[in-house]
Structures are given as structure tokens and as C-alpha cells.
Amino acid sequence: MNIEYVTFPVRADRTRYIANRFGAYLRDSVLDVGCYEAPLRGLLTEARYTGVDMVGDPDITLNLEQCERLPFDDSSFECVICIEVLEHLDNLHMMFDELMRVGKRYVIVSLPNCWSDARCPIERGRGRFGHYGLPVEAPADRHKWFFGFTEARDFLEGQAEQRGIRIAELFGTEKPRNALQRGLRRLLFPGDRYLNRYSQNIWAVFELGSGD
């Protein structure tokens, strides 16, 4: 599993990373599912951009948890992106089906490694951690699924296998650390144990067809 060492202190850093890292795929027509403020709109100069969400600044206002179908025909967009959104939806599997239905050539999905975010607060006995828990007031939004890096990887690979499609890219991202620290961690936690403890996100580019 390839790992890229990046960090996103603010949301804008992640947006720039997406535009630069996946620029070759983000051409012609792009659907951004769960776009929030749609920051990619101003960065994708070679694409017709459409963002959907229930809040923020979408082109189409849509509650992803309440819709049974995205309001687009099959294969409507050359590329569909869904970045750290599916974990917020009870209907995760249905929405994943919809991403694949409306995509024509590529679908790009990112999922968080929930175990990595939760590990330190749990180990240190803090009693709570972000996106989960039991606040006094009902939260406006929260994660509905709790999974580690390898479970997310297995889900993405399993979806591709079931559909008979190719994953063009599959990799993780992790905060930059010096080589000595990374090497020691890999010795202490080999293989998948390292990925589940330290990788922050997993990214997949599904290749649906040639676009013809």
C-alpha cells in the first residue's frame, strides 16, 4: 500500500491537494457529492463543476441521507468525487451505488481512518473524541460508521471486485514524520497494524470506462 505524506491543517489545504493530486481526472464535467462550500469550483478551470450538498454553497441543494437517487441520468459526469462524506451517511451503500451510476469515467472516493483519530483519546482515557460520543444536544452532523484503514480498504476493493471495475489508484495519506520515527513505528506495528494506527485517510480512483 502506497502512502503519501501530507497534512491538512485547514480545509483549504485539502482542497488544493485534491485539485493538484487528481487534476488529470478532474476534467470536462465533475460532480462533487457533499461539496459543502464547493471550494473546488474556483480551482477546476478545465471542468464544468456541479456541487451537491444540503448546506454550504452547492449548485444543487440536496439532503444525501433523504434522497433515494441522485437527480442525474446514468453516466452524466466524466468524474464524480466524494471526499470524506460517505461516513456521515446511514445510506452509505446506496449512495456509493449512486456515485457509480452517475459516473462515466472515474469515481474518486476518500474515507477517513476512524481508528487513527480515536486511538489516542481512547488510550489516554479522555472519555470522548470527535465525530462520535453522546453530546447533551443532538449534533447537526456526525459520523455514522466507525472503521479502520484496512476495513475501508477491503470495502473499496470489494466494491470494485463486485462491479468488475478497475481501481486505477489506491493509497493512504499520513502526517509527515521523520524517517526514523516512521521506521520505528513500522517495526513495532508491522503491516496492517501500522496502517490502522497511523494512516489518516484512504483514497481510491475507480476507473469505470474509457469515456467514449
Domain assignment of residue 212, yes or no: no
Please check whether residue 124 lies inside any domain of the structure.
Answer: yes
- Tens of pLDDT, residues 87-101: 999 999 999 999 999
- Residues 66-79 have a mean pLDDT of 96
Contact 109, 99 (CB under 8 A): yes
Whether 158 is in a domain gets the answer yes
CATH classification of the domain holding 132 = 3.40.50.150
| Residue of 51, 64, 56 lying closest to 37 (CA atoms) | 56
Specify if 7 maps to a domain: yes
pLDDT in the model for residue 212: 58
pLDDT of residue 196: 95
Residue 203 forms part of a structural domain: yes
The more confidently predicted of residues 187 and 209 is: 187
Count how many domains the chain has.
Answer: 1
Supply the range of the domain harboring residue 154. Answer: 2-207
**Count of CB atoms situated within 10 Å of the CB of 114:** 22
The answer to whether residue 150 sits within a structural domain is yes
Whether 103 is covered by a domain: the verdict is: yes
Q: Is 194 among the domain residues? A: yes
Q: Residue 211 — very low, low, confident or very high, per pLDDT cuts 50/70/90?
A: low
